[in-house]
Structure 1
Amino acid sequence: MKKSFIRICKSTVKFLLPGILLLLACNKKFDEPPINEDPDIAVTMTIAELKARYQGVGFFQNIEEDKTITGVITADDRSGNFYKQIVIQDETGAIPILLDGTNVYTSYPVGRRVFVNLKGLMLGDYGGTIQLGLDSSRSGAGYLNLGRIPSVQFDLFITKGSYGNSVAPKVITPADLSVNILNPLQSTLVQLDHFQFADGDTAKTYGDPSKKISALNFTLWNCDKKSIVLRNSSYAVFAALKVPQGNGSIVGISNMFNGTQQVLIRDTTDVRLSQPRCSP
């Protein structure tokens, strides 16, 4: 009797084992992370087409059409040099998107593709740099400011796509930039070669560690005596670091503020000044 019972148990286990293994295999597949791919969303407008609708500084406008743009994130808030915003870029241009959240880089890091539903958003500018946000308000001084998209509405307007997309910086000179609000280089990832900090700035730090001054502007020069402004936030994690003394390449996001052309780095890896200085 005992032997018969054992034989029955063995037969039962032998019969059930393949099913158990199959069930475990199914569960394993279910638990695997999703494939790194983009959602099937129709893109109906380029960033250049969107920005072309902007009529000029201060002409904020609501977007009422059901349009979608896409772009790869080229700047986020990870280092603190960009505050509550990301910058996205496609083949035609780039635009900042204002987000009312902290550590947004955890969901929207550099290299991630996003799809932006434009209906309900507002197109505005800050000092001449066109931006996307939500609604607007006037400051005490009477300036019109673009509002940020609340965190609870991120998914309503922004659909996340694939990670690890690369955008090569465009090698430019200061002459390529202009005060034209529709300059296609505005907000794009750019690279300036053969530049250096001014002689009087080489002992300074990127920002003001005491934060008494919220941001610092530096004038960068190349060997042809051409210059451009580098702007750094004193709230950036690298604010207390000293600027490098050499000459070389600087990568960053170009923008304009009240007629001044500027470049903002994402972090100090964008500053590659390892060559000997020239004397402009």
Structure 2
Amino acid sequence: MNKILAACFCALLASCMGSDYADPNMTENPFGNSQIAETNVMNIGDLKESKDFKFIIANGAYKKVEKSIQIKGRVTGNDAQSNLYNTISIEDATGAIEVSVGQGGTSGFMPVGQEVLVELKGLYIGGYRKKAQIGTVYTSANGTLGIGRMNRQEWAQHYKIIGTADPSQVVPTEFDVTKIADASYINANASRLMTISGVEFSAADGKAVYAPDDGSVTLTSNCANRTLKGLDEKKIVVRTSTYAKFAKAVLPTGKVKITGIFSRFNDTWQIQIRSLDDVVADDPFAGIDGTGLGTAESPIDVTRALSLIAKSAYEATKEYYVTGIISKIKEVDTGNYGNATYYISVDGKDANNLTVFRGYNIGGEKFTAEDQIKVGQKVVVAGTLTLYGTEPEMNAGNKIISIK
């Protein structure tokens, strides 16, 4: 009798579960709200500049979205390395905005390159120190109200995952340093994924790290602001949380290219890198012909020296090491000046020459005999580069490093 009742119960349970339980629908993304339909999409740039929210954002206020407005863009930054805390950066062709949500692990279902549709009705848009955010009303410890993090349950009802992530669709914009203090530029580009090239960390000495927590650096909200050489710290910094997985990584020395979310704090750019992969050694010879780095260990060849000059890509005060073969000698002064003017090329032929103007012998010594240099000899010469009229040359005062 018990076996018969058990069989009947199982049959009844199976019928209540229905066919969907036995054969689950695997086409819908389990995250977010798949029921959101694309009906009233607004460009992010237009949203931030709209009469409803422009003043709100600029003045640190907030406003609830009362009508159905949507934005659609791709994720450019998340919490994968814990430097963008409770923040998801979303960008389209017109601008970017940050979503503030009290949820960790968002990188698992919102990786970089993931397209997402966000229904804004019922959420709040506001400004934190002029930075545009999507979130909810937040009460600080002192009772001040402002824009802050929504809870994950609320957020889940307001976004829809579209397709699969495609990181190739996320291409950083090159930051224009000449517009670093341009108010319209920061308004238009704040929170974008951008790249700044040819910069150096001021504190980089082979030991300093991104975000130490040992008291060696003043922290604000558990973050360290690192400055860049030659750039006003009131205008731009690299901001890293002490909780970032790379917080204790050593700052790279030399010129680097930095990619990150170019957030803002009032009128200061705050670059937030997403991982150590966002900081790479800068290639000063990108787009320049020839070979070599211009150092004693890696001299540039004449082709690269000529390319640097032709493209005005050389640094006027920098000493470059250049290697070539003497193709012609114009003059060797063995008197008071003790210098020589000659030409070098890649192959020793009298074409595609770099003029070595009034240079000195090895170690900066004066020439005492005309036969101290000869056509066909291979030399490494150190000096500054210039374009004199139409003639590419190495400035007077250069010296031979080696000759053979």
TM-score where L is the length of structure 2? 0.55
The alpha carbon displacement at 1:100 in A equals: 1.1
Partner of 1:54: 54
* Cα shift at 1:136: 3.1
CA distance in 1, matches of 2:251, 2:176: 21
2:254 is equivalent to residue 250 of structure 1: no
Change (3 A) 1:40 1:112: same
Distance in 2 separating the partners of 1:155 and 1:255: 24
**Does the C-alpha gap of structure 1 residues 66 and 32 become closer, same or farther in structure 2, counting only changes over 3 Å?**
closer
Question: How far apart, CA to CA, are the structure 2 residues paired with 1:230 and 1:201?
Answer: 16
Q: Hey, what does 2:188 align to over in structure 1?
A: 184
For residue 289 of structure 2, what is the aligned residue in structure 1?
Answer: none
Deviation of the 1:263 alpha carbon? 0.9
Which aligned pairs between 1:62-141 and structure 2 lie closer than 5 A?
A: 62-140=64-142
SS of structure 2 residue aligned to 1:105: helix
Contact 2:174/2:194, CA 8 A, preserved across alignment: yes
SS at match of 1:184: helix
Larger relative contact order (CA 8 Å, sep ≥ 6): 1
**Which of residues 177, 190, 194 in structure 1 aligns to 2:198?**
194
Please report how far the alpha carbon of residue 202 of structure 1 lies from its aligned counterpart in structure 2 after TM superposition. 4.6
Matched, 1:260 2:265: no
The aligned length equals 246
Cα 1:245–1:200 change in 2 (3 A) is: closer
Contact 2:69 2:120 in 1 (8 A): yes
**CA 1:200–1:193 in structure 2 vs 1: closer, same or farther (change >3 Å)?**
closer
What are structure 1's unaligned runs of at least 5 residues? 1-29
SS at match of 2:189: coil
Shift of 1:195: 0.8
Change (3 A) 1:157 1:179: farther
CA contact (8 A) 1:84 1:101 kept: yes
Q: 1:192 to 1:114 in 2, by over 3 A?
A: same
Amino acid at match of 1:237: K
Q: Displacement, 1:254? A: 0.9
Identity %: 28
The question of whether the paired residues in 1 share the 8 Å contact of 2:198 and 2:282 is answered with no
Q: 2:78–2:88: 8 Å Cα contact kept in structure 1?
A: yes
Distance 1:231-1:71 versus aligned 2 partners, 3 A rule: same
Deviation for aligned residue 1:147:
2.5
Q: Deviations along 1:40-94, whole A, 9 cap, x unmatched?
A: 6235211011111320222211111101111100000010100011000001000
Q: 1:148 — aligned with what? A: 149
Q: Does 1:170 align with 2:167?
A: no
Q: Give yes or no for contact 2:238–2:272 (8 Å, CA) kept in 1.
A: yes
Asked if 1 retains the 8 angstrom alpha-carbon contact of 2:137 and 2:148, the reply is yes
Between structure 1 and structure 2, the one with the greater Rg is: 2
Aligned to 1:41: 38
- The aligned residue for residue 12 of structure 1 is none
Structure 1 44/241 Cα, relative in aligned 2: closer, same or farther at 3 Å? same
Could you tell me which runs of 5 or more consecutive residues in structure 2 were left unpaired when the two chains were aligned.
1-22, 285-294, 296-314, 319-404
1:272 aligns with 2:280: yes
Cα separation, 2, equivalents of 1:242 and 1:262: 19
Range that drifts further, 162-171 or 117-126:
162-171
- In structure 1, how many angstroms separate the alpha carbons of the residues matched to 2:270 and 2:202? 16
CA contact (8 A) 1:201 1:218 kept: no
Counterpart Cα distance in 2 of 1:110 and 1:92: 18
